[in-house]
């Protein structure tokens, strides 16, 4: 990736590209406010040619800052051109060679638990929006936050929380991996993975894509704060519901799909069902084969 990547260029991108996109739908004052709420994302950018895992680097960064009795900048984002030890959930391997967007954002949590619950949803929406805006209009989200093109996975997101050893701050690490220009995949995932470049039939400018994704992440995390502030005065949800959930419903193809559900669906699938929707707090509503309904807040699905 080009080493010119910088926080100030991201700010310019948000002002010149992201804000006009959002004002197509939102009034300008609200759109500006939402982007100000999310302005911390990418305000510190750390870029490496190679790392083992960006999540580990993020943890080391937090430890080092805390040992120095300083505060971690919320939104600090660590990027690497390639990863040598990347992993997905559980013990799954994640292939992260040159050409993809690999990174972690350190978010110092100031959200209420109900909003914090939706951080992984915000990451998935940001990924899907960035992939769509880069040309893959048919990109969709599979609950909770996998991004797919034509049924193949193009992006995945992990979130981990930890408490600072000294500060006792609650940190949420948002890990992201998006196959942008990398086109070679290990044999075991060749049938289920793709990249944006492969789908478009041309390479994508990775620097621009990085700014685009971080701008979307900034917006969607800003939405969590915006809605929380709007909600708090009367503590009752308004009729239109959470804007992040509305957006998820626009981008996801999960509703209506027959799925296999499991906490670790690859290793231990639990049951088959049909997705009906997601709840206002992100839970997956499923209809089982006997017609009864169940809402899941943790686990994953695969389409049948």
Partner 1 sequence: MSSDIDFDEILGKYRMDPYAYVDICAPHTGVVNFKLDKGTAVDGVGGEWNHIPGTPLFQITRERNRRVVNAPITGIVSKIEVERDGQFVEAGEKLITIRYPLKKKEIIENILKEVLYLFVAPEKAKYFFSLDIQSRIEKKGSRAVTIRQGDEIFTMSLMKRDTPVYYTGQEGVIHSIYFKPGVSIAQGEPLVGICDEDTLPMIQKVITRVKAEWDSLYSGM
Among 29, 69, 14, 37, residue whose Cα is nearest residue 221? 37
CB 143 within 8 Å of CB 278:
yes
Among 76, 83, 84, 112, residue whose Cα is nearest residue 229? 112
Structural tokens at position 88: 């997905």
Looking at 217, 275, 282, 301, which residue binds partner 1 (CB under 8 A)?
282
Nearer to partner 1, 1 or 245 (CB): 245
Q: How far is the CB of 197 from partner 1 (least distance, A)?
A: 26
Looking at 158, 193, 221, 275, which residue binds partner 1 (CB under 8 A)?
158
Q: How far is the CB of 172 from partner 1 (least distance, A)?
A: 7
Q: Which of residues 175-234 bind partner 1 (CB under 8 A)?
A: none
CA dist 220 and 243 (Å) reads 9
Asked if residue 51 binds partner 1 (CB under 8 A), the reply is no
Q: Which of residues 107-136 bind partner 1 (CB under 8 A)?
A: 113, 117-121
* Alpha-carbon separation of residue 42 from 7, 9, 45, 73, 175 (angstroms): 6, 10, 6, 10, 13
φ, ψ at 142 (rounded to 5°):
-105, 130
Omega into 203 within 30° of 0, i.e. cis? no
Asked if residue 289 binds partner 1 (CB under 8 A), the reply is no
Asked if residue 303 binds partner 1 (CB under 8 A), the reply is no
Asked if residue 300 binds partner 1 (CB under 8 A), the reply is yes
Q: How far is the CB of 96 from partner 1 (least distance, A)?
A: 19
Binding mask 76-95 for partner 1 (x = CB under 8 A): -------------x-x----
Of 18-26, 77-85, 151-159, 202-210, which part binds partner 1 (CB under 8 A)?
151-159
Asked if residue 288 binds partner 1 (CB under 8 A), the reply is yes
Q: How far is the CB of 213 from partner 1 (least distance, A)?
A: 18
Element (H, E) at 141: strand 140-142
Helices vs. strands in the chain: H and E counts, helices first: 9, 12
Close Cβ partners of 24 (under 8 Å, ≥ 6 residues apart): none
What does the binding site for partner 1 look like in residue numbers (CB under 8 A)?
A: 89, 91, 113, 117-121, 144-145, 157-162, 172, 236, 262-264, 268, 270-271, 282, 288, 290, 292-294, 297-300
């Amino acid at each position: 990736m080009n080493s010119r990547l910088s926080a100030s260029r991201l700010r310019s991108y948000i002002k010149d590209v992201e804000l006009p996109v959002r004002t197509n739908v939102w009034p300008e004052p609200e759109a500006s406010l939402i982007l100000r709420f999310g302005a911390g994302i990418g305000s510190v950018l750390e870029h490496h040619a190679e790392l083992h895992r960006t999540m580990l680097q993020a943890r080391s960064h937090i430890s080092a800052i805390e040992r120095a009795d300083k505060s971690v900048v919320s939104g600090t984002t660590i990027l690497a051109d390639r990863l040598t030890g990347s992993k997905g959930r559980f013990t799954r391997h994640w292939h992260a060679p040159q050409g993809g967007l690999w990174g972690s954002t350190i978010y110092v949590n100031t959200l209420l638990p109900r909003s914090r619950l939706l951080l992984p949803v915000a990451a998935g929406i940001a990924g899907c929006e960035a992939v769509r805006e880069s040309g893959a209009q048919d990109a969709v989200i599979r609950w909770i936050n996998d991004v797919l093109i034509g049924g193949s996975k193009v992006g995945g997101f992990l979130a981990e929380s930890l408490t600072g050893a000294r500060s006792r701050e609650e940190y949420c690490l948002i890990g992201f991996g998006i196959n942008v220009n990398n086109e070679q995949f290990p044999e075991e995932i060749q049938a289920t993975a793709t990249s944006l470049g492969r789908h478009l039939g041309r390479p994508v400018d990775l620097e621009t894509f990085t700014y685009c994704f971080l701008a979307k992440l900034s917006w969607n995390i800003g939405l969590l704060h915006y809605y929380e502030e709007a909600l708090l005065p009367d503590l009752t949800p308004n009729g239109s519901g959470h804007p992040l959930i509305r957006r998820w419903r626009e981008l996801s193809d999960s509703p209506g799909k027959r799925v296999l559900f499991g906490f670790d669906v690859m290793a231990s699938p639990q049951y088959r069902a049909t997705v009906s929707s997601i709840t206002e707090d992100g839970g997956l509503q499923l209809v089982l084969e006997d017609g009864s309904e169940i809402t899941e807040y943790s686990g994953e699905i695969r389409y049948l």
